[in-house]
């Protein structure tokens, strides 16, 4: 057995939190153990001082990161860990499962993040010139989505419910738009204004879950020696990556307008 | 003889303009003939219907473009010709030699450009969703640099005179900054706020001049067969490119802070 996925909710109460902590961190492919969550918010990327064992990140936020890397929103000419420096990103929804960890990850990588929820707007940044080692959070009293959208190069939305739509008229021309809600948070007109539109991230999330399965093995490089189940996982990741490249899926995952 | 460079000014009056037009377009490595200038502003990239003969672009604006490509400000996941879509760029100085053609080139490639001069601010864009085939220019009455800087991911300055300095306090954290003036338009503190800072572009301009010499030959691919002087030029381009890669120059051309 290489990894454990638990189909939460099981008890639907605090016993579920107990279960999350009882999974061995060597098998926790979902990245839900306290140690992984702590490392994520603290911008600690490895488990060991030699930087050989990666700390596991939760699948859905990591899927968005991997999509942004693929889309070259991450600038690989900048040093690793700072590759979003200069990017302004709005994340709509601040759930504990996706929205808040995602805002933290993006800010830890150097982005200026506006985290927007029904109640308020929070700013996640590492400060001017990325002088801080990890992100800090500041309340933006009186701010709403209307203040954030005109400033943002990237708009990431994950509001549950089919009523919610991102107000495109406030968005920057050429923004990159990513929807991680199971509902469509962007109306079809997004294609006429965005430079890049990703309508769904499910396939990448599954690939990332399999990636975590491989990384959990904690080999410095996880490709050379694989167990049968790992080989299977690697094949699926390769297939998923190919699907993205070739825009082969009926609903293109990555869509470039213009 | 493969190309002609004229060290203007010669007469310092309209006779110089006459000279610019009298150079054969097959030898015009500076890209100053009317046909090349017209093509540049009209976003016409080739001389022939088969798209095999590139229209020559003036060296200094093209050097800035090549630097932005190297720095991955151009996003190669977007279609060729639209790779600056979503970028907001301020160009300070609107001279006919560099500032104005540069603003036009950037807007033709999809950027939202603010062209700032002492007198006014002009906006160069291809419209929402890049619906227009070439850029259009709109006056921004009442706007100054102070309105443009907080919106811009990229700040390009070329103001002659050592008195002028870009007001960094108005600039976005993590902006990419490029100076094409022979004077320093950015104070050293730029390194504490920019994600990328390019203090001078002279070496790249020379490489681009040599590139134009090769492109002027108008072969579909200009590498296979080279004359002796072209071989020499190619070697110098390779050397220049290597210098950029290895940050070998005493004054690093590309400087990543943070």
A103 to chain B nearest CA, in Å? 18
B118 to chain A nearest CA, in Å? 26
Q: Do A71 and B75 touch (CB under 8 A)?
A: yes
For an interface test with A, the pick among B68, B71, B86 (most A C-beta atoms closer than 10 Å) comes out as B86
Q: Which residue has the higher pLDDT, B76 or B1?
A: B76
- Which residues, including other chains, have CB under 8 Å from residue A143's CB and lie 6 or more apart? A114, A120, A121
Which residues on B lie below 8 Å from A78 (Cβ)? 195-196, 256, 258
Which residues on B lie below 8 Å from A68 (Cβ)? none
Query: What confidence score (pLDDT) does residue B54 get?
Result: 92
Q: Is B83 on the interface with A (CB under 8 A)?
A: no
Q: Is B130 on the interface with A (CB under 8 A)?
A: yes
For an interface test with B, the pick among A195, A246, A252 (most B C-beta atoms closer than 10 Å) comes out as A195
Nearest residue in chain A measured CA to CA from B125: A173
Q: What is the pLDDT of residues A175-221, one digit of tens each?
A: 999 999 999 999 999 999 999 999 999 999 999 999 999 888 755 54
Using 50, 70 and 90 to split pLDDT, how confident is the model at B218?
low
Using 50, 70 and 90 to split pLDDT, how confident is the model at B219?
low
Q: What is the pLDDT of residues B15-30, one digit of tens each?
A: 998 998 999 999 999 9
Name the residue with tokens 């920057």: A172
Query: What confidence score (pLDDT) does residue A103 get?
Result: 98
Q: Is A172 on the interface with B (CB under 8 A)?
A: yes
C-alpha to C-alpha distances, A207 to A37, A38, A41, A103, A113, nearest whole angstrom: 20, 23, 23, 21, 26
Query: What confidence score (pLDDT) does residue A248 get?
Result: 32
At A72, list the tokens: 């070259």
Angle at B117 between CA B112 and CA B121, to 5 degrees: 45
Query: What confidence score (pLDDT) does residue B246 get?
Result: 34
Burial B29-62 (b: 16+ CB within 10 A, else e): bbbbbeebbebbeebeeebeeeeebbbbbbbbbb
Q: Do A176 and B86 touch (CB under 8 A)?
A: yes
Mean pLDDT value of segment B160-177: 96
Assess contact for A2 and A56: CB atoms under 8 A.
no
Using 50, 70 and 90 to split pLDDT, how confident is the model at B255?
very low
Angle at A19 between CA A16 and CA A23, to 5 degrees: 150
Query: What confidence score (pLDDT) does residue B231 get?
Result: 60
At A126, list the tokens: 């590492």
**Cβ-based contacts under 8 A for chains A and B:** 101
- Which residues, including other chains, have CB under 8 Å from residue A81's CB and lie 6 or more apart? A45, A108, A109, A110
Q: Which of A209-213, B84-88, B241-245 has the highest mean pLDDT?
A: B84-88
Between CA B130 and CA B252 the distance in angstroms is 35
H or E element that contains A69: helix A59-70
Q: What is the pLDDT of residues A125-179, one digit of tens each?
A: 999 999 999 999 999 999 999 999 999 999 999 999 899 999 999 999 999 999 9
The beta-carbon neighbor of B129 closest among A112, A128, A258 is A258
Q: Is A257 on the interface with B (CB under 8 A)?
A: yes
Instruction: Decide: helix, strand or coil at residue A241.
Output: helix
Sign of CA dihedral A76, A79, A85, A89: positive
Which residues on B lie below 8 Å from A87 (Cβ)? 174
Instruction: Decide: helix, strand or coil at residue A176.
Output: strand
Q: Does the active-site annotation cover B177?
A: no
Assess whether pLDDT exceeds 50 at residue A25.
Answer: yes
B142-151, B215-224, B236-245: lowest mean pLDDT where? B236-245
A230-244, B147-161, B239-253: lowest mean pLDDT where? B239-253
Query: What confidence score (pLDDT) does residue A232 get?
Result: 64
Dihedrals phi, psi of A224, to nearest 5 degrees:
-55, -50
Q: Do A130 and B174 touch (CB under 8 A)?
A: yes
Q: What is the pLDDT of residues B183-216, one digit of tens each?
A: 999 999 999 999 999 999 999 999 999 999 988 8
Query: What confidence score (pLDDT) does residue B245 get?
Result: 38
Using 50, 70 and 90 to split pLDDT, how confident is the model at B235?
low
Query: What confidence score (pLDDT) does residue B239 get?
Result: 59
Between CA B86 and CA A257 the distance in angstroms is 12
Assess contact for B156 and B176: CB atoms under 8 A.
no
Query: What confidence score (pLDDT) does residue B83 get?
Result: 98
C-alpha to C-alpha distances, B92 to B59, B115, B152, nearest whole angstrom: 18, 6, 12
- The ipTM, to two decimals, is 0.81
The beta-carbon neighbor of B256 closest among A79, A87, A128 is A79
């Amino acid at each position: 057995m290489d990894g454990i996925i638990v189909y939460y909710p099981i008890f639907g109460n605090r016993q579920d939190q107990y279960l999350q902590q009882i999974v061995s961190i060597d098998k926790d492919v979902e990245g839900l153990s306290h140690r992984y969550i702590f490392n994520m918010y603290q911008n600690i990327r490895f488990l060991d001082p030699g930087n050989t064992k990666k700390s596991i990140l939760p699948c859905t936020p990591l899927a968005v990161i991997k999509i942004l890397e693929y889309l070259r929103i991450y600038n690989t000419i900048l040093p690793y860990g700072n590759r979003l420096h200069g990017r302004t990103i709005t994340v709509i929804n601040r759930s504990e499962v996706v929205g808040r960890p995602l805002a933290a990850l993006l800010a830890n990588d150097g982005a200026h993040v506006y985290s927007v929820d029904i109640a308020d707007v929070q700013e996640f940044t590492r400060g001017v010139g990325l002088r801080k080692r990890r992100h800090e959070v500041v309340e933006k009293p009186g701010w709403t989505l209307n203040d954030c959208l005109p400033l943002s190069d990237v708009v990431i939305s994950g509001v549950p419910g089919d009523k919610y739509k991102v107000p495109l008229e406030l968005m920057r021309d050429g923004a990159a738009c990513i929807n991680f809600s199971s509902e469509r948070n962007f109306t079809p007109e997004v294609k006429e204004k965005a430079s890049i539109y990703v309508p769904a991230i499910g396939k990448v999330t599954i690939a990332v879950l399999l990636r975590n399965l491989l990384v959990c093995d904690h080999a410095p490089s996880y490709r050379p020696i694989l167990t049968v189940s790992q080989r299977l996982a690697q094949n699926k990741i390769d297939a998923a990556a190919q699907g993205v490249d070739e825009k082969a899926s009926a609903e293109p995952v990555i869509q470039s307008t213009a």
